[in-house]
């Protein structure tokens, strides 16, 4: 009994430390949830993944799964670029919230389209079809993240302002225990930035500065890399704590926006929010992004319609 109390006390200290760090980095769904949802969207679409393979299908290097590593070694490919994009807006938003906007995401997608043409031409000249970082997959999932945040932070949504960070952490832990731990992942296999991804987001923010109608001073590669490194350090700490957070079900009940009285009810609220988050993300994927200034309003309307189906609330 004494050992359990000590364990609970240590876990509480770790969680408090983690939540303190989260405040400065994340004000949306947690990083593990965003990458888990990107994986789920890939599984639903069947884009280069096999549903029978579960979450392991989202990771290109089978050795990563075997070693149960928290970092993917080697170059990113289309699948891992997509999963990385799912959490990336939070990696750079400390630099400027304009990098955490549909305006930037749309311009970034436009820039990715220009790069795709260059990559196709390069492959033809070399006569290969080598897998590498995919700017389009990354950019599409980048916008997914923003659409999911609109759902979560709706005024009657799952991420209540009072308990924003604790409920994010509980939801992150839920992803690990329900999807990743059953597949024998010791840690959540978080996809991290490689040099190509850092180069791309650097060039994309320069492209944004040159094309947006509102003045924007682009950040240097070093500034972006430092912001990403700080974010990834926080995530690596979280993955270590999540593994031991066996109290996540109680947390989901305690911090539930709808004041759920039991885990089953709290889980239903998270599941509905997940369904709507996927719906908003799919709308972003399919919508016309040629007018970056109109994207936000269109997403807001779609999310409003989703909430309207349930009397305007997640409850």
Q: What is the mean pLDDT of residues 42-71?
A: 63
pLDDT tens per residue, range 136-160: 999 999 999 999 999 999 999 999 8
Extents of the domains making up the chain? 2-308
In 3-state terms, what secondary structure has residue 289? Answer: coil
Residue 163 has pLDDT above 90, yes or no: no
Q: What is the pLDDT of residue 116?
A: 81
More confident call, 120 vs 207: 207
Cα–Cα distance measured from residue 289 to residue 298, given in angstroms and rounded to the nearest whole number = 10
Q: Which residue from 38, 19, 60, 288 is spatially nearest to 179, judged by alpha carbons?
A: 38
**The pLDDT of residue 17 is above 70:** no
pLDDT at residue 102, rounded to an integer = 98
Give the orientation angle of helix 2-25 with respect to helix 164-175, to 10 degrees.
Answer: 110
User: What's the pLDDT score for residue 126?
Assistant: 43
The model carries a pTM of: 0.87
Inter-helix orientation angle 164-175/31-45, to 10°: 40
* DSSP state at residue 101: S
For residue range 260-312, what is the model confidence (pLDDT) as tens digits? 999 999 999 999 999 999 999 999 999 999 999 999 999 999 999 999 999 99
Give the pair of three-digit tokens for residue 214: 């509102």
- The C-alpha atoms of residue 294 and residue 103 are separated, in whole angstroms, by 8
Kindly tell me if the per-residue pLDDT of 171 is higher than 90.
yes
The structure tokens listed for 247 are 């109290």
Which residues lie closer than 8 Å to 268 by C-beta, 6 or more apart?
Answer: none
Most confidently predicted of 22-31, 124-133, 211-220: 211-220
């Amino acid at each position: 009994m004494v050992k359990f109390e000590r364990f609970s006390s240590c876990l509480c200290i770790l969680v408090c430390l983690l939540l303190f760090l989260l405040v400065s980095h994340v004000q949306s769904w947690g990083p593990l949830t965003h990458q888990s949802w990107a994986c789920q969207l890939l599984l639903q679409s069947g884009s280069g993944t096999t549903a029978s393979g579960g979450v392991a299908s989202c990771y290109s290097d089978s050795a990563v799964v075997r070693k149960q590593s928290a970092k993917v070694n080697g170059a990113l490919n289309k699948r891992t670029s997509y999963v990385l994009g799912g959490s990336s807006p939070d990696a750079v938003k400390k630099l400027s919230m304009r990098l955490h906007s549909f305006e930037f995401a749309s311009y970034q997608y436009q820039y990715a389209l220009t790069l795709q043409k260059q990559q196709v031409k390069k492959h033809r000249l070399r006569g290969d079809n080598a897998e590498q970082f995919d700017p389009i997959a990354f950019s599409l999932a980048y916008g997914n993240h923003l659409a999911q945040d609109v759902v979560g932070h709706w005024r009657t949504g799952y991420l209540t302002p009072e308990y924003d960070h604790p409920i994010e952490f509980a939801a992150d832990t839920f992803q690990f225990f329900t999807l990743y731990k059953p597949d024998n992942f010791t840690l959540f296999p978080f996809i991290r930035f490689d040099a190509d991804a850092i180069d791309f987001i650097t060039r994309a923010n320069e492209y944004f500065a040159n094309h947006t109608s509102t003045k924007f001073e682009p950040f240097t590669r070093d500034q972006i890399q430092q912001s990403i490194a700080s974010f990834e350090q926080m995530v690596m700490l979280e993955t270590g704590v999540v593994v031991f957070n066996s109290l996540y079900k109680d947390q989901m009940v305690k911090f539930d926006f709808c004041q759920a009285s039991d885990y089953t009810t709290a889980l239903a609220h998270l599941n509905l929010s997940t369904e709507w988050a996927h719906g908003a993300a799919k709308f972003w994927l399919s919508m016309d992004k040629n007018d970056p200034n109109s994207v936000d309003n269109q997403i807001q309307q779609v999310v409003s319609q989703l909430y309207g189906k349930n009397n305007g609330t997640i409850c």
